[in-house]
Chain A
Amino acid sequence: MAERLSLEGLVLASGETELVHGIDLAVERGEVAALVGNSGGGKSLSLLAWLDLLPPGVRRLAGTIRLDGTVLEGPGLAGLRGGVVGLVPQSPTSCLNPLVTIGRHFCETLACSGRAARAEAAGRLAEVGFATPERLLGLYPCQLSGGMLQRVVIALALCRDPDFLFADEATTDLDLESQAQVLVLLERLRDRRGIGILLVTHDLAVVARLADTASVLQHGRIVERRPVADLFASPRAAATRALLAAHHALYEGGTAA
Chain B
Amino acid sequence: MTGFIARRLASLVPLLLVVSLAIFVMLHLGRGDPAMDYLRLSQIPPTDAAVAQARADLGLDRPLAVQYLAWLGDAVRLDFGHSWVTHRAVLDDLAIFVPATLELTAAALALTLALALPLGVAAALARDRWPDHLARAVAFLGVCVPNFWLGYVLILVFAVGLGWLPAMGRGGLSHLLLPAIATAAMSAGVLLRLVRASVLGHLSARHLLFARARGLPRRTVIGRHVLLNAMLPPLTAVGLTLGELLGGAMVVEVVFGWPGVGRYALQAISNRDFPALQGFVVVMTLVFVLCNLAVDIAYAWLDPRLRLGLAGR
Residue ranges of A at the interface with B (Cβ–Cβ < 8 Å): 48, 51, 53, 55-56, 78, 81-83, 86-87, 89, 91, 94-100, 108-109, 140, 142-143, 153, 156-157, 160
Contact = CB atoms under 8 A, between A and B. Distances in A.
Contacts of A94: 205-207
Given A53-B213, A89-B213, A156-B214, A95 B305 contact: no
B212 interface: yes
Contacts, number: 80
17 contacts: A48-B209, A81-B213, A82-B213, A82-B216, A87-B213, A87-B214, A97-B211, A97-B224, A97-B228, A98-B304, A99-B302, A99-B304, A109-B215, A140-B308, A142-B310, A143-B304, A160-B215
A109 B229 CA distance: 18
B310 A157 contact: no
A96 B225 CA distance: 9
A97 B207 contact: yes
B235 to A, nearest CB: 12
Contacts of B77: none
A78 B232 CA distance: 30
B53 interface: no
Interface of B: 204-207, 209-216, 220, 224-225, 228-229, 232, 302-305, 308, 310, 313
Q: Taking chain B's interface residues, is the majority helix, strand, or loop, or is none over half, making it mixed?
A: helix
Nearest to B231: A99
Given A82-B215, A100-B224, A108-B220, A95 B308 contact: no
A124 B92 CA distance: 63
Contacts of A142: 304-305, 308, 310, 313
Contacts of A99: 228-229, 232, 302-304
Contact of B214 (A55, A56, A109): A109
A157 B232 CA distance: 27
Nearest to B213: A87
A167 to B, nearest CB: 12
Given A94-B206, A97-B207, A81 B228 contact: no
A44 to B, nearest CB: 10
